[in-house]
Structure 1
Amino acid sequence: TSHAGVNEFINDVSNKVQSTLEKNNIKPYIIPLEQGQLIKDENFKQLDIGLSREQVQYLLGVTLSSPFNDNRWNYFYFNNTNSREIRHLSVYFKNERVFKITIDNSVYKQLGGGQDSEIDMFNAPILSSEDSDLNENKKKIITISQTDNTLNQLDLGQCKSNEYETFEDVKTLMIADESTLEIRAENQSQNDDEFTAEGNVEAERQNDLLRADTVVYDLKNKNVSASGNISYFNNEISVYSENANYKGVDGDITFSKNAKYFRTNKVGSGVSDEILFKKNKDVFLENATYTSCNLDDPDWELTSTSTELYDKSERGHSYNMILKYKNVPIFYTPFISYPLSEKRQSGILTPSIGSAGDSGTSFSVPYYLNLADNYDATLEINSLSDRGVLFDNEFRYLGLKGSTLVNFTHLENDDEFGDDRYLYKFSDSRVVYNNLTMSNNNLLGSDIHTRIDYSRVSDLDYFDDFGNSLSTASQSNVKREIRLFGDYYTAANILSYELSTLSYQPTQTGVEQQYQTVPSLKINYRNKATSNIDYNLQASIDKFEHKDTSKAEGTRYVIYPSIELPMISEGWELTSKFGLRYSDYSLDNNVATGESKTTPIASIRGKLYFDKYIGNVIYTLEPEAYLLYIPVGNQDNNPIFDSGLKEFKYSLFAENKFYGEDRFNDAKQISLALTHRIIDDDTGDELFTGTIGQIIYFDDRDVHLTNNTKSHSDASNIIGMMSAKVTKHGTLSIGSVFNPHAGHGMRNNVRYRYNASTSSRNKLFNADYRFFRGNEEEIDLSGVYSFNKDFSLVGKYNYSFSNNRSNVEDLIDTMIGVEFDSCCYSLKVVSRNYWTGSKKDNAFYFEFLPKGLTTTNNKTSTLLRRGIPGYEDRTDYE
């Protein structure tokens, strides 16, 4: 990175990004469209513990989270060395500085700890931390741990090698030009008409070599004929046949009589009655076969009466093509066109077949359209035997300053439903303006971003009928949101703002219509961490409307200035805070009155750190207290537009136990918690973490969501959380909420994760038990086990013992399936039975991929990834 200035740095990164896209033909969809900008390895070189928020935003861009969610910033990125996989990066802040960085939920860097030993270059972006403006005093090298050594110990599933030589194996001419021709033979003779070479004949030129028993050169016509044990080699292909004919010394070449060919730089081989190599590098084959398996015993192969391979357009055409598996025909087409290089090209992706409950048998054929370097489209025709033809279309655009995603799914006159079914989705993210510069380790300037998300669904049963995952099938709303947001940085302060509109469309029967904001304005003004006192100003104006005219409508105003005095020293930290919150309503009808309130808020939060070393293990004890005083009164006259009660584990140390702004709790209380950690000092891994906490109340609580209620208890429920690394690959987590007044548990969660997966094999097991008194009790078991490098078994069992959902089946979701990944093809078969949220449904997924022929849209692996935590698609799609 140049030290000449930020503009040069940004231009350099932009040029490298564009160059990489063009050079490596990277598909734009591998960049997460939610994020709106490219993140490359160069951006991560200076990412480190201790950086400020401004420095992180300068390096990585705007976080996916709202600027008002300050504790954790989420990003997505990819690594060009493994661009098929999208990775999730989280940056955690404490006291306005980075204290932890995780990659796919594994600790990458942590204050006082090391890196996760399991992270390798395929999921860690940083190469080294070099001299930079941001890290003038941190000229250190960041070491990335080695890749998984099991890669070097396993047979990675290569096909049994076809026995053939390449041009690199046989060439002897080290110095040659285009006019060079050297003929070697046991016997040579010549008359007036022809030249003949016999016995182990070799004819070698600069870029190819021919071997034969006999070679005859016609002196008059300049043609060459060869016969007997023909072997021909060039930089791209090796051919074995009985006859060969050259039309001119440097003209077309024809091979005949059981000609076998092997691609030397890529997988693929076959047999043909006749192969014609044109002078312009086009290739024509008659009655040919093709496979990426071993040629002598292929699991699958393509046969065609005629095949044409065009060098300039990098396209292939085959006629009367049949796909055979174990010599059994499974697919026929009179004509097919396909790409001949790894460059993105338009063409058919792997078809898939399956079944889905009321929809019957489904057969889908996706077609990929390579429209330009930075935008493309996929058109999928899905034939549903019981419903009709479903058209699923996707358009994607990626630019250096934004991205767009458009989905359009349409089924005309559903045979089951009796009407048109459709789903529209539009997402767009833009960097409208950015003049951020870094001066003396201080971020200055401003940036403006936009984000649009719009969805529309035809009816309330759409996701029940067409959702391909449990989370999608049970989706209750689709969102419509427009956001304009940005930041303005001065030498001492930061202004964040967001202007938005938000509404929801219900997608399930019985789901209540939510309020829409038209519009909402949020402002956050705070100082940079340059002084001993932090001040912050939060303000919002939200106008709410509802389709039900009996609901309260109007505008809500909130302003909340506050100051904090953080004090941190070795072994302890203490933060005092004082704020004044004002809220008011301007309502449009008489459903509710609304009251203005001015509320002082005072708090003190402190924590002590005790640690003891025993060998290479650190034992810590961390007591924490949070004293909160909020003398606010009853708020029953205020409407509830967007507020609700937070889950208790999120409100133990929260200022407000409600989310939204319609309710702000009254509090005369102290929260107490005790945390114990056991840490491996060599690796930084937390071997055990346990926390127990409770809120002690000094007065009754008057503020609730429902009217005329009051809480008299002197203490809250007790919450406990524990996580332990019980084996090398296994972790156990337990969370519990206990009601000491009733003497029983309110909520319990037990989770066990075992993951001994390697780079080529999945070996994982998940077990979850969830209990919520009066609402649910269920178990969720899932796992994947690879018996060898080729064969894996996948499964999931999610069962509910009791819940409050009406007409619900006890069985929530089950999956059983197999994965087979050989050297030349992959196969995924999954059978599924699940509850959509309103009815029971079943589905069957079948995915067959001949490697070296096409690629797939990975619908089956997406289903498994969503349903089985930790699952990774280990298929080598090359």
Structure 2
Amino acid sequence: MQTRYLLALSLLPGFALAEASSADIQSQSQCIIALPASRVVAPPPQGTPAEQIRIISDSTRAQMGKQAVFSGDVSFTQGERSIAADRASLDQRTERLKANGNLMFQDSLFTVTADSLEARMRTNTATLKGAQYWLHGQQVHGDAEQLEITQKNNLILTNTNFTTCPPDNVSWLLEAEKIKIDSEEEWGEIWNAKLRIADVPVFYIPYMTIPVSDKRKSGFLFPGFSTSTTNGVEFALPYYWNIAPEYDLTFTPNYMSSRGLYLKTEFRYLAGDAQAGQINLEYLPDDKLLDTSPNRYLYHWQHKGALDENWRVQANFTDVSDNNYFNDLKSDVNRATDNQLSRIGELSYFERNWDLGIRVQDIKVLGEDEKPYQVLPQVNFNYRAPDFWKFVDFDFNTEVANFEHSRSDHATATRFHLAPSLTLPLHGPAGSLTSELKLLQTYYWQQNTQADSGLEETVSRTLPQVRIHGQINFERPAQMFGQDYRQTLEPQFQYLYVGYQDQSNIGLYDTAQLQEDYFGLFRDRRFSGLDRIADANQVTLGLSTRLFDEHNLEDMKLSLGQIFYLQDSRVNMSDTANAQAPSRSVLAAELDTRIYQDWFFSGAIQYDTQQQLTKKSEVTLDFRPGANKLLQFSYRYVPDLLNSSTNAQVNVSQAGLRGAWPINDSLYFVGNWYYDMDQARSVEVYSGFQYEACCWAVRLSYHYRIKTNFDDDFAPIQDNRAEFETGVFLNFVIKGLGGSGPLGVSDMLNDGLFNYRKPLYLRN
């Protein structure tokens, strides 16, 4: 017969060990370590105080004020904590609780099985002998000769071990004389430890600390090892310093046998609840690979966030010692393919119908003699009034910008631009018709105009703009290849009129030619910026069709469009009239489709129908039969592309092959190969193998790539800069000792000059 025995005593101290983040749990979803089956413990009656103990057993012998003995399916509960045992005794005079026989202690954070338990109520401590423990959500488990719970809720394990591997496949095991887990700091301290891999002792660790949650703590991170033909053998050992809850710093000495000691520092900070930033400093003294042995450096600052519900702030500044810094060194800030350094400071204020912003901007282009203009500063004000009059919307955009230049032989300017507009948007299921009337008013005050004889000190430009855009939506049921679809037909048109004014007296401060892809055909401008506003009297015609399957998923989209000029445009970048102005633009077409089951095709072309020349084309063919399974064939062609380093016209004709495939459940391969058909040479080869188990991972990769070398003061290209670089990289991580492992297939697909892009987003 069950007997209930209630005592208002503290049972055992709880632990404040944080659970793993959702990302950690998700990554370990296939490697879950099963906890021992919980013994049935009846929950306390509703309304029972959390500090009270509830004891249930098959039989009880008790003497009031002295000792109580419980036997047969004994269960103790206090709040979320519980103890199950075959036998237990409670000495009320000394306030000691003893339990043994199939003993299990459990709460929401950990589970312990043991041979015996002794709890001391006065000191709020407990000791378990012959314990096995599991930390919930942490994939951590192990054995201990003795497990002690201290008065400060800490856990002390003697003659113990732990691992994150499944019990039936312990790839690594850390044995220690003592482990102390701090419940408040959520970190473990380990003394006199041996790391065993495949049951072989690898190295001895007299003292170390490890995380038992995702809480930060100072210490060394996993080292990195690689070798390449330019940098030689590389070894990096990062050190993480948890300065304060709002600040941390990672310092990484990176030794390169061919160059020297490369030092990298990253400082991160929080400024309140809504602002964050980081500072990067990188330094390589006396680069031994270059004849002049220069000192090479980088400094970077980034900050963004909200000052309050209306104010936003952003800052970004980067500078490097030389043009080839990112080509030669593996920076934490930019990739080798980046050749522009943006320096921006911006402060903005937002309200429901208007916003105000001020910004400064400077762009440093690596390897370019021509330097862009600096914006010092630019002020924008935008006002929006939906349904300003009946169905008409009113918008008012204004900008004041001051352009400076680092060279004295360039003109500078202050530009004031106003653009009020009235828009009548009509939308419905069958289509839409949007009519817009805009006035473009711009004033220029230009200085140092003697640098360009065609410029004038004061310019006023007034241009009217009319834009009418319409689209009709048709759809019908269709059957193709034995399947039912819903097909849409979406013709659209745009009429654009922009007045003409001679703009050869205005300098080029922030203007460039825009691309003529399908969506670009329906823009209301040919140039970015405001220094050139092309006159227009043109009609754009476009047509799109889509196929949706029975689940309303898009299986195909085809778009085709072209601009027909009713009048030749007289404004261009060089400010010279084009004697053979085309009567129509390139024909732009784009196709995204699922060919069959797991085969996908994507293509885009810009074709000059008058000269019968292809201006740009790109095609990709994907085979994606499942997760982490990919084969992609690609080709791109761009003729007469300007090479900024040589100022020569070159043709880009490149074919590529990319693949990712699991060899088994734990091992997979990723590789790519890109070939320059114009130069008849490979420009990049990458292959990598990664093996990932539940508790460890290793990646071995090979990389052969062309280097984008710029001429600079340190070393001319032709003397001592390699055109190609070959490297071998090794990453090894033991999960649960401060590392989370390589990121997987997506990380490897992006590890190269050419990032992987899905041909379409129809379905996965």
TM-score bucket of the superposed structures, by smaller chain: 0.7 to 0.9
Say whether residues 1:515 and 2:388 are aligned partners.
Answer: no
User: How many Å separate the matches in 1 of 2:438 and 2:56?
Assistant: 89
Say whether residues 1:422 and 2:292 are aligned partners.
Answer: no
Name the structure with the higher strand share.
2
Secondary structure in 2 matching 1:317 = strand
Closer/same/farther in 2, CA of residues 587 and 275 from structure 1, 3 Å limit: same
For the Cα contact (< 8 Å) 2:33–2:167, is it kept in 1?
Answer: no
Say whether residues 1:820 and 2:691 are aligned partners.
Answer: yes
Structure 1 equivalent of residue 39 of structure 2: 169
- Tell me which of 639, 664, 682 is aligned to 2:507: 639
Closer/same/farther in 2, CA of residues 240 and 661 from structure 1, 3 Å limit: same
Say whether residues 1:829 and 2:716 are aligned partners.
Answer: no
Name the structure with the higher helix share.
1
- State which drifts further: 408-417 or 332-341: 408-417
Shift of 1:353: 2.6
- State which drifts further: 604-613 or 710-719: 604-613
Q: Name the amino acid aligned to 1:769.
A: Y
Secondary structure in 2 matching 1:463 = helix
For the Cα contact (< 8 Å) 1:816–1:832, is it kept in 2?
Answer: yes
Please, what is the CA RMSD of the aligned residues?
4.3
For the Cα contact (< 8 Å) 2:420–2:440, is it kept in 1?
Answer: yes
- Tell me which of 385, 391, 395 is aligned to 2:268: 395
For the Cα contact (< 8 Å) 1:470–1:813, is it kept in 2?
Answer: no
- Tell me which of 687, 693, 697 is aligned to 2:561: 693
Structure 2 equivalent of residue 133 of structure 1: none
Shift of 1:723: 1.6
Pairing of 1:69-468 with structure 2 (within 5 A): 82=22, 157-158=30-31, 165=36, 168-169=38-39, 207-208=82-83, 233-235=104-106, 236-238=110-112, 253=127, 255=129, 261-263=132-134, 265=136, 266-270=138-142, 274-277=145-148, 279-280=150-151, 282-285=154-157, 288-295=160-167, 297-311=169-183, 313-330=185-202, 332-371=204-243, 373=245, 375-386=247-258, 387-397=260-270, 399-416=272-289, 418-434=293-309, 447-467=310-330
User: How many Å separate the matches in 2 of 1:532 and 1:24?
Assistant: 59
Structure 2 equivalent of residue 869 of structure 1: 756
Q: Name the amino acid aligned to 2:635.
A: Y
Shift of 1:182: 8.0
User: How many Å separate the matches in 2 of 1:778 and 1:454?
Assistant: 34
Secondary structure in 1 matching 2:173 = strand
User: How many Å separate the matches in 1 of 2:117 and 2:498?
Assistant: 95
For the Cα contact (< 8 Å) 1:363–1:384, is it kept in 2?
Answer: yes
Structure 2 equivalent of residue 604 of structure 1: 468
User: How many Å separate the matches in 1 of 2:308 and 2:89?
Assistant: 72
Secondary structure in 2 matching 1:648 = coil
User: How many Å separate the matches in 1 of 2:220 and 2:332?
Assistant: 25
- Tell me which of 784, 789, 793 is aligned to 2:669: 793
Shift of 1:554: 1.8
User: How many Å separate the matches in 2 of 1:401 and 1:833?
Assistant: 42
Shift of 1:498: 2.1
Structure 1 equivalent of residue 451 of structure 2: 591
Secondary structure in 1 matching 2:265 = strand
Q: Name the amino acid aligned to 1:606.
A: G
- State which drifts further: 579-588 or 477-486: 579-588
Closer/same/farther in 2, CA of residues 24 and 534 from structure 1, 3 Å limit: farther
Closer/same/farther in 2, CA of residues 431 and 342 from structure 1, 3 Å limit: closer
Secondary structure in 2 matching 1:554 = strand
User: How many Å separate the matches in 2 of 1:526 and 1:203?
Assistant: 72
Shift of 1:473: 0.4
Shift of 1:747: 1.0
Instruction: State the Cα deviation string for residues 805-851 of structure 1 (Å, max 9, x = none).
Output: xxxx9433332112222222233333222234224223433333323
For the Cα contact (< 8 Å) 2:557–2:593, is it kept in 1?
Answer: yes
TM-score under structure 2 length normalisation:
0.77
User: How many Å separate the matches in 1 of 2:185 and 2:332?
Assistant: 40
Secondary structure in 2 matching 1:467 = coil
Closer/same/farther in 2, CA of residues 327 and 522 from structure 1, 3 Å limit: same
Pairing of 1:439-588 with structure 2 (within 5 A): 447-467=310-330, 472-489=335-352, 494-506=353-365, 508-510=366-368, 512-529=370-387, 531-569=390-428, 571-588=430-447
For the Cα contact (< 8 Å) 2:600–2:622, is it kept in 1?
Answer: yes
Instruction: State the Cα deviation string for residues 336-361 of structure 1 (Å, max 9, x = none).
Output: 11233454444444333333543333
Q: Name the amino acid aligned to 1:544.
A: F
User: How many Å separate the matches in 1 of 2:168 and 2:350?
Assistant: 65
For the Cα contact (< 8 Å) 2:268–2:278, is it kept in 1?
Answer: yes
Structure 1 equivalent of residue 571 of structure 2: 703
Closer/same/farther in 2, CA of residues 412 and 712 from structure 1, 3 Å limit: closer
Closer/same/farther in 2, CA of residues 862 and 460 from structure 1, 3 Å limit: farther
Q: Name the amino acid aligned to 1:854.
A: G
Instruction: State the Cα deviation string for residues 23-80 of structure 1 (Å, max 9, x = none).
Output: 99799xxxxxxxxxxxxxxxxxxxxxxxxxxxxxxxxxxxxxxxxxxxxxxxxxxxxx
Structure 1 equivalent of residue 656 of structure 2: 780
For the Cα contact (< 8 Å) 1:470–1:836, is it kept in 2?
Answer: no
User: How many Å separate the matches in 2 of 1:368 and 1:237?
Assistant: 31
User: How many Å separate the matches in 1 of 2:357 and 2:276?
Assistant: 20
Structure 2 equivalent of residue 853 of structure 1: 737
User: How many Å separate the matches in 1 of 2:562 and 2:43?
Assistant: 82
User: How many Å separate the matches in 2 of 1:668 and 1:762?
Assistant: 50
Secondary structure in 1 matching 2:756 = coil
Say whether residues 1:740 and 2:590 are aligned partners.
Answer: no
Q: Name the amino acid aligned to 2:581.
A: H
For the Cα contact (< 8 Å) 1:349–1:856, is it kept in 2?
Answer: no
Structure 1 equivalent of residue 628 of structure 2: 762
Identity, in percent, stands at: 21
Structure 2 equivalent of residue 12 of structure 1: none
Alignment gaps of 5+ in structure 2: 1-15, 46-50, 62-68, 641-650, 710-722, 759-764
Secondary structure in 1 matching 2:230 = helix
